[in-house]
Amino acid sequence: MAMLAPTFRRALLEARSTLPPTYLLPFRANITTISHTLETDNVPDPLIQSGHHISKDLKQKVQSHPIQPKVAPRPVPSIPKASANARKDEVSTEFTANMKSMLPLLHSQPPHYLTVHIHGRPYLLTAGDTLRLPFLMPNVKPGDVLRLNRVTHIGSRDYTLKAPEPVKGTRDAPKKVFYLDERLFVCRAMVVGVEQEPLRIMEKTKRRQRHVKHVKSQHQYTVLKISEIGVKSLEEYEGTLEGLIR
């Protein structure tokens, strides 16, 4: 039927120029809320089919031999497949009454700290901290600004907002790790540069062998500077929920 779309359009154009008289149009087209002049997509079916010229033999043939649809191959689901030892990171977006009452208190006590998770590993950070990551972050250069968005704890002097505890995974169910809503906070870090560890040389040898192999290692580590940590106030957070502020 999709293949007949161009023929529909052609038939439509032909039908528009030669409309049947009003008394021949179907009764159901008398009262309608659809404006046929403004909304040109809404064309009644008899009008579309009036341009169709299908022979009676062909109609009979189609009706008597309905085509059996071939068994389509099972579509591969786009959702991630369950695996043994899988992991699921959930950013919880629920806003409980307790959170609503305590968020203004948390917001009123700067400075704040965050427990940020980078590649699943937690770092307790506050504004102005220098963070040396235990790995070299690819595709970043000094001066780039990162936005850290996976956080489990937001705290101030007297208050802490915690995400739910992780749920242990089983053979079939994935491990669930919970994070706080991204819209509650802002955390920006600037890439300061790359550090190197001191050169270390490992000697590899076997007993009663005079040859000693020297293996050099000097790993690199990315250094970040936390430039900004902010907790949203209740008005700002509710504004983002409504989509006013991004």
Size of the site for other proteins (CB under 8 A): 39
Looking at 190, 221, 234, 240, which residue binds other proteins (CB under 8 A)?
190
Looking at 131, 140, 167, 194, which residue binds other proteins (CB under 8 A)?
140
How large is the C-alpha radius of gyration of the chain? 33
Q: Is 116 in the site for other proteins (CB under 8 A)?
A: yes
Looking at 69, 143, 198, 243, which residue binds other proteins (CB under 8 A)?
143
Q: Select from 21-29, 34-42, 135-143, 209-217 the region that touches other proteins (CB under 8 A).
A: 135-143
Q: Which of 56, 54, 47, 55 minimizes the C-alpha distance to 14? A: 47
Looking at 19, 145, 173, 241, which residue binds other proteins (CB under 8 A)?
145
Take residue 137 and report the two structure tokens written for it: 């972050």
- Number of neighbouring beta carbons within 10 Å of residue 240: 15
In the block, residue with structure tokens 């490992």: 202
Residue (48 or 176) nearer to other proteins, CB: 176
User: CA separation (Å) from 13 to 19, 55, 60?
Assistant: 11, 21, 28
Q: Is 240 in the site for other proteins (CB under 8 A)?
A: no
Take residue 186 and report the two structure tokens written for it: 């802002």
Q: What's the number of CA atoms in the CB half-sphere (13 Å) around residue 231?
A: 26
Q: Does residue 238 contact residue 190 with C-beta atoms inside 8 Å?
A: no
Q: Is 225 in the site for other proteins (CB under 8 A)?
A: yes
- Least separation, in Å, of the C-beta of 180 and other proteins? 12
Instruction: Round to whole Å and give the CA distance between 225 and 89.
Output: 26
Looking at 9, 36, 59, 87, which residue binds other proteins (CB under 8 A)?
87
Contact positions with other proteins (CB under 8 A) in 42-81: 76-77, 80-81
Q: Is 94 in the site for other proteins (CB under 8 A)?
A: no
Q: Is 132 in the site for other proteins (CB under 8 A)?
A: no
Q: Select from 8-16, 26-34, 186-194, 197-205 the region that touches other proteins (CB under 8 A).
A: 186-194
The torsion angles phi and psi of 24, rounded to 5 degrees, stand at -90, -15
Residue (19 or 86) nearer to other proteins, CB: 86
Q: Which of 183, 184, 182, 190 minimizes the C-alpha distance to 227? A: 190
Phi and psi based region of residue 148 (left: phi greater than 0; alpha: psi -120 to 50; beta: remaining): beta
Site residues for other proteins per CB under 8 A: 76-77, 80-87, 89, 116-120, 139-150, 171-172, 174, 177, 179, 188-190, 192, 225, 227
